[in-house]
Amino acid sequence: GSGYAICSSETHRGLTSHLSAATGLPVFSIDYRLSPTHRYPAAPQDVRGAWEWLIANGRDPARIVVAGDSAGGHLAITLALELARAGEPLPAAVVALSPILDLSMTAAIPRDRIERDPFAAAVVARKLLLTYADAEAQRDEGLRIDFRGVHAFPPVLIHAGSREMLGADCTELARRIRGAGFEVEHRVWPGQMHVFQAMTVVFPESHVAIADIARFVATHLPVAKSNLTAVASA
């Protein structure tokens, strides 16, 4: 997460550890290259490389759940779209926490003016995202979340807070997935902000949200019989 520019597997260790404990599964967390040193398409290239590494090392795509928050949610969805368009095996499911849909923040900025997200401002997020992909790069097909011509897609769980700066993005993403005929659960958590699931020390609701993620994973992931099952955090 964090606008393609900051954070790492180390900063997200609390969240990934809680997810591992709740699901009983190993987590493979990706340190993709960050902007402004590494601009688009460095991040999705790294995520695709990590996916291919897992497969090359014996992991079954149907026993992998791809998950991410904020920018990581965008990466998780676009990875699944890339695989679907190529007709390649898909992950068992996708979990997107407060995912970015539109890097221009076209819907997020007006939404944030109505009720400010306590965690982050949409106008600041837009500046951060521009260090990753400028206005011209944002028109690239690899950044757009478009389900036209896609004939298969894994089930998706979307979490957002009711005070979420990306609330409109999350609602629109769920609408697009559902409109394309694919399975999606869209949960809005009352009173919560952007990626509240990572703040387990502060918000008791984060533990409930993590339990909901574990429920979703258990529903869509075949019963683990070996260590080939993994949850990949983008």
**CB pairs under 8 A, 24+ apart, for 59-63?**
59/228, 59/230, 60/228, 61/88, 61/89, 61/90, 61/91, 61/92, 62/89, 62/90, 62/91, 62/92, 62/222, 63/92, 63/221, 63/222, 63/224, 63/228, 63/229, 63/230
The catalytic residue among 2, 29, 70, 98 is: 70
Residue 171 CA neighbour count, 13 Å, CB half: 12
Q: Which tokens is 220 given? A: 């869509």
The radius of gyration of the chain's CA atoms, rounded to the nearest angstrom, is 16
The catalytic residue among 12, 159, 194, 220 is: 194
Q: Residue 50 CB: number of other CB atoms within 10 A?
A: 19
Residues 139 and 19: their CA atoms lie apart, in Å, by 34
The catalytic residue among 18, 74, 159, 164 is: 164
The answer to whether residue 207 is catalytic is: no
Residues 234 and 231: their CA atoms lie apart, in Å, by 10
The answer to whether residue 70 is catalytic is: yes
The answer to whether residue 164 is catalytic is: yes
* Strand-pair partners of 97: 69, 159
* Strand-pair partners of 69: 97
Q: Strand (E) positions, 31-166?
A: 64-69, 93-97, 156-161
Which residues are annotated as catalytic? 70, 164, 194
